[in-house]
Amino acid sequence: MNTFTRNALLWSLVGTLVALGEPGKQRNWRWTFEEADGLKIHEASGQVKPGAILHESRGVQRVRGRSGMALEFAGGDRRQRSQAGCVLLNGLEQVDWSQGLTVEAWVFFTKLERPATYEIVSATKGDRGPGWRLMISWESLWLRTGEGGAGTTWGAGSNPSATRFKPGQWYHLAGTYDSSVFRVYVDGVLAGQSEAKLTLPPGAPIVYVGSYQGGFAYGLNGIVDDVRLCNRARSPVEMIARAKLGRE
């Protein structure tokens, strides 16, 4: 084993151990996309190994965001596969999201079409699970999971009649799962929740931002800033504070 390979393996192991932390302990991760250039994406606290802008930055560019820098995604031709921009977030392979999850991001849509699906952040093995997807579909915000294959899906979605998304403005979009109930929030306000006693089956070992399965489909047209993950469900009070007041 050469020195480069050995160092890469050690970095991967250290990143995974840090990401996992003590069993049952709350862990938080944040990606602010403040890198000036290049393809690497660093987690803000350095807890995990860097992620990457995929496919030599196809469909992704660094732009000014809501605060500092951000990433703008181009969804590509929706009639074709593997055209969308995508970012991969590393080092979370062993996190057990079935015990709790909060996923959140600031999103600025540049284009929205009612029947379309736009992936925001996801860690799923397939279109219908298992794993989780924070996405826009039919103008609703969803945190969704499922059995996989042609099986059943479940989760929480917003009401498009009550919560309307428009291009050209920033939204704080979030989803939580508390080992029983799925919830979605728009600008800190609870926009939908599921029934109780639902599960979140383990999904893909990697987290993608901006499209589904590394750019295969459901590409987002818009800007993403300040992606955050937590291995517990944040409370409604916490979500309002983060969206409205910018508190940690």
How far out from the chain centre does Cα 158 lie? 17
Query: Is residue 14 classed as helix, strand or coil in its secondary structure?
Result: helix
What Cα–Cα distance (Å) separates residue 240 from each residue in 7, 58, 248? 42, 35, 11
pLDDT at 19: 45
The percentage of residues in the chain with a pLDDT greater than 70, rounded to a whole number, is 89
Per domain, the residue ranges of the chain are 3-245
| Cβ-contact 238, 103 below 8 angstroms | no
Provide the token pair at 150.
């042609």
The answer to whether 224 and 211 have CB atoms below 8 angstroms apart is no
pLDDT band at 48 (very low <50, low <70, confident <90, very high): very high
pLDDT band for position 23 (cuts 50, 70, 90)? low
pTM for the model stands at: 0.89
Query: What span, in angstroms and rounded, lies between the C-alpha atoms of 146 and 154?
Result: 6
183 CB-near residues (< 8 Å, 6+ apart): 143, 156, 175, 176, 177, 190, 192, 193, 194, 233, 236
Q: Which of 23-32, 151-160, 223-232 has the lowest mean pLDDT?
A: 23-32
Closest by CA position to 62, among listed 48, 73, 51 = 73
Give how far Cα 194 sits from Cα of 98, 130, 137, 169, Å: 15, 17, 17, 27
Cα separation, 162 vs 146, in Å, equals 25
Q: Which pLDDT value is given to residue 22?
A: 53
Q: What is the pLDDT of residue 43?
A: 97
Whether domain 3-245 has CATH 1.20.120.1200: the reply is no
Classified as helix, coil or strand, 46 is coil
